[in-house]
Structure 1
Amino acid sequence: MSTLKERPLDRTKFRDPETTADGAARAHVDLKRLDTLWFNTGTLCNLACTHCYIESSPRNDSLVYISRAEVAAYLDEIEALDLGTREIGLTGGEPFMNPEIIGILRLCLERGYHVLLLTNAMRPMMKRAEELKALKPLADGKLVLRVSLDHYGQEVHETERGPRSWAPAIEGLCWLARQGFAIDVAGRDLSGEGEASLRDGYAELFRELELPLDARDPAQLVIFPEMDETADVPEITTDCWSILNVVPDSVMCASSRMVVKRKGEARPKVLPCTLLPYDQGFEMGETLSEALGQVSLNHPHCARFCVLGGASCSAR
């Protein structure tokens, strides 16, 4: 008998934003505070990973490069609405492929925000090494660069990210550490060996590389659950909060939003979180003021990643 995880997704699920397939009341999440505003810097990437949830690649420009001016407009709105936002997240694609990324970083840091930037630490980042080093005085205590290492071993990592992707990532990660940048690492349970074993493996890698990282600290080594949209997953009902002993405020969309700019569209759009970049059913408007409302947990990722997986994309 197949397990729920092994079965294909029941296509009667996740259709109605108010009701689950069996007629129960679907769970919703209210925005309690906008702690983190994410910007997708563009879906172009130097890699084409096997299981990239956002389908980034050297050819996918479905989400185009966001500009410094567009980011500035949202920072202005944060301040005009007195939202108290603490953190700006920058993700891709590979953010260092965006020609304005250094200007965007400088803008966010100069405005006093903590910044979390997700990168594969490969050639696009190293091409901007001198510009990045020049930001170091602004970055201290405010910038964290999260490097994607999908496994502590080269074989599994390159099965996901492609041949010759390991050594440049390790080189970039070590370069960041030598320069004194704050770093953490994002891994994934691709091997199915479980979190304890993964943390043991990463701990040994960090020791070998002499990296200032504690693999036992979930903020310094973030291990994300897998997000296969084709695999079955339970829908989250209002009763699930008490059954699972999970509070709605712990879910990512209770404290964050993401801005994307789709190819061919004149202005960026605001979405509930980083996981749903293409689903137009989750668009909340073009401004933050339009995007402060309730979010229906009406997508498999809401269950798999956030509620059941207990994951979040934010920093420490």
Structure 2
Amino acid sequence: MTSPFISAGPMLDPAKFRDPLRTAAGEVRASVAAQALETLWFNTGTLCNLACRTCYIESSPVNDALAYLALADVAAYLDEIAEAGLPTRQIGFTGGEPFMNRELPAMLALSLERGFEVLVLTNAMRPMRRFEAAILALPHRERLTFRVSLDHHIAAIHEAERGPRSWAPAVAGLQWLAAQGFRVAVAGRSLPGETEAAARAGYGALFAQLGIVIDAADPGSLVLFPEMDAGLDVPEITTACWSILGVVPDSLMCASSRMVVWRRGEAGPRVAACTLLPFEPGFDLGATLAEAARPVALNHPHCARFCVLGGASCAT
């Protein structure tokens, strides 16, 4: 079965996104300067209980290209934030499925105890449910948000992407979180041919049916991500695009966020410019947050399609 989220279109020109300074047409490539670090993400590992058809990071039950981070790794970066006096307000956890990492509850507790807002992305299925007691024991839950992945408001479309029998457990996990009083949000995806208004109306009807209070009209409560097919053609972003598109560089997530990853085979964790590009060498900014506080050249199709043209962000 083909994923319903695959879009048709011309393939990417291989001459594009090769030079971090110039586009294929020779124009100056846009870059984004580092501003205040507002959100620090931790990718806890690429292992996942699902193997979605178009997962941008190819997470699966066997893909451990990003090794599990440990609690000590998270603590070291939180210490750097404190020692440098960085204005970081939010810590995010993603994967893979973050709850595949057995140290995640301790990571969440530490981040909450340090005073951060915490956002964890999860499919809310069995890996999360096995930690129910630890989740219920988390401190400062008023600063904690669970963003649950429901790729569509129709079960069959969700399962066409995520696999058979993936809908009911995800919905049950979302309902459990809401019933326990946790702040919940949902992450969906833009289905080709479906308007945003229709998608939000569909999710709104679903939330009402499930008895869950989520404002489907609020982009922070229901995040609809644009497509991320790096193989499809997309314009390169030049310095002239800022005024043409009316986009402010500081609004892009690489201006104010970074992600910590541990690529298997490397000596330790590294800081990537973007949550979407954990493996691209050009987006590896160093081992510390201080090293990572430098400009990012928009030299990847995701930069154009997802961030600049799509206006999307992984944070809240």
1:38 equivalent in alignment to 2:55: no
Matched with 1:10 is 13
8 Å contact from structure 1 (residues 156, 190) kept in 2: no
SS in 2 for 1:276: coil
CA distance in 1, matches of 2:266, 2:194: 43
CA distance in 2, matches of 1:182, 1:36: 18
Give TM-score scaled by structure 2 length.
0.97
CA distance in 2, matches of 1:241, 1:5: 27
SS in 1 for 2:110: helix
Q: 1:252 is aligned with what amino acid?
A: M
Matched with 1:233 is 234
SS in 2 for 1:290: coil
Matched with 2:4 is none
8 Å contact from structure 1 (residues 34, 84) kept in 2: yes
Within-5 A mapping of 1:86-101: 86-101=89-104
8 Å contact from structure 1 (residues 152, 205) kept in 2: yes
Matched with 2:3 is none
User: Of 53, 66, 69, which residue of structure 1 is paired with 2:69?
Assistant: 66
1:79 equivalent in alignment to 2:82: yes
SS in 2 for 1:107: helix
The RMSD of aligned alpha carbons is 1.0
1:18-50 Cα deviation digits (max 9, x unpaired): 000001000010111100000000000000000
SS in 1 for 2:304: helix
Within-5 A mapping of 1:237-248: 237-248=238-249
Shift of residue 282, structure 1, vs aligned partner: 1.2
SS in 2 for 1:208: helix
Matched with 1:156 is 157
SS in 2 for 1:284: strand
SS in 2 for 1:90: strand
SS in 2 for 1:131: helix
CA distance in 2, matches of 1:5, 1:49: 19
Q: 1:108 is aligned with what amino acid?
A: S
Shift of residue 191, structure 1, vs aligned partner: 4.5
Shift of residue 250, structure 1, vs aligned partner: 0.6
Matched with 1:262 is 263
CA distance in 2, matches of 1:134, 1:83: 28
User: Of 131, 139, 142, which residue of structure 1 is paired with 2:141?
Assistant: 139
Shift in alpha-carbon separation, 1:7–1:247, aligned structure 2, 3 A: same
Shift of residue 194, structure 1, vs aligned partner: 1.8
Matched with 1:210 is 211
Query: 153-162 vs 264-273, which deviates more?
Result: 264-273
Give TM-score scaled by structure 1 length.
0.97
1:273-316 Cα deviation digits (max 9, x unpaired): 1000111221111011100000000000000000000000002x
1:104 equivalent in alignment to 2:107: yes
CA distance in 2, matches of 1:301, 1:66: 25
CA distance in 2, matches of 1:192, 1:285: 40
8 Å contact from structure 2 (residues 274, 283) kept in 1: no
1:172 equivalent in alignment to 2:173: yes
Q: 1:299 is aligned with what amino acid?
A: H
8 Å contact from structure 2 (residues 51, 59) kept in 1: yes
Matched with 2:303 is 302
CA distance in 1, matches of 2:257, 2:199: 28
SS in 2 for 1:275: coil
SS in 2 for 1:21: coil
CA distance in 2, matches of 1:231, 1:34: 31
Within-5 A mapping of 1:183-202: 183-202=184-203
Q: 2:16 is aligned with what amino acid?
A: K
CA distance in 1, matches of 2:192, 2:162: 14
Shift of residue 192, structure 1, vs aligned partner: 2.9
8 Å contact from structure 1 (residues 156, 191) kept in 2: no
8 Å contact from structure 1 (residues 269, 286) kept in 2: yes
8 Å contact from structure 1 (residues 5, 232) kept in 2: no
SS in 2 for 1:37: strand
Shift of residue 5, structure 1, vs aligned partner: 6.4
8 Å contact from structure 1 (residues 235, 303) kept in 2: yes
CA distance in 2, matches of 1:121, 1:191: 25
Shift of residue 190, structure 1, vs aligned partner: 2.8
Matched with 1:57 is 60
SS in 1 for 2:188: strand
CA distance in 1, matches of 2:247, 2:116: 29
CA distance in 1, matches of 2:119, 2:147: 7
CA distance in 1, matches of 2:76, 2:314: 23
CA distance in 2, matches of 1:49, 1:188: 13
Q: 1:45 is aligned with what amino acid?
A: C
